[in-house]
Amino acid sequence: MVCNLGQSVLTRSYGRILGSQLHNATYGHMKAIVQEAYSLPDVLKLREVGTPSIDDRGVLVQVHAASVNALDWHITRGMPYLVRIGGLRAPKDSTRGVDLAGRVMAVGQKVTRFQPGEEVFGGSNGSFAEYASTTENQLAPKPPALSFEQAATLNIAGLTALQGLRDKAHVQAGHRVLINGAEVAWERFRCRSPSGLVHRSRP
């Protein structure tokens, strides 16, 4: 599932942030999906919250699209209990969402890979919002051929598939791999590997 998020106009121009932090980049607030307790998805609420700040290594992204995946479901429910580390009764980071695609609005003083105005995709703790703070090692340039909606689906599911094929199975060009089912997102990404590498079979 992909969410299109409303876009608002910053009250300051694009530019590299020279200070150590960007406090409320819009000098105001933003809309975000927040969670104040662990429960079913009904606990998620649309709220107006402060725009996130960034430090010297941070990147502020204006979110154009965010995708929903199983990790969001686990965090919302607080299950398994391992996800409650850092917040037993409610998540430490109240804004939900981990996948995003959007445009860089500001960068910290020590950021070298991105400049304001560039289109990116990747991860953030709190992507179900108009703006999200993250770091440059969690982002990649958005390919021009992909829409924001398409790019927003790549982070968790795509990395899971890549880790399974490359890091765990050590699959190389010419290998034949059987994907059984391929119904969840990361299995679908595996089936999009180069032609001849992956063969799909249903039970």
| Domains of the chain by start residue, with CATH | 2-148 (3.90.180.10), 155-201 (no CATH)
pLDDT (tens digit, 0 to 9) for every residue of the chain, 203 residues total?
Answer: 555 544 433 333 333 433 333 444 444 789 999 998 888 888 999 999 999 999 999 999 999 999 998 888 888 888 888 778 877 887 888 899 999 999 999 999 999 999 999 999 999 999 999 999 999 999 999 999 999 999 999 998 888 878 888 888 888 888 887 776 655 554 455 455 544 444 444 44
Backbone angles phi, psi at 148, to 5 degrees: -60, -40
Contact yes or no for 60/15 (Cβ under 8 A):
no
Alpha carbon of 70 to those of 118, 121, 160, 167: distances in Å?
A: 28, 18, 12, 21
**Would you state the pLDDT for residue 2?**
52
DSSP states along 107-175: E-TT--S--TT-EEEEE-TT-SBSEEEEEGGGEEEPPTTS-HHHHTTSHHHHHHHHIIIIIIS---TT-
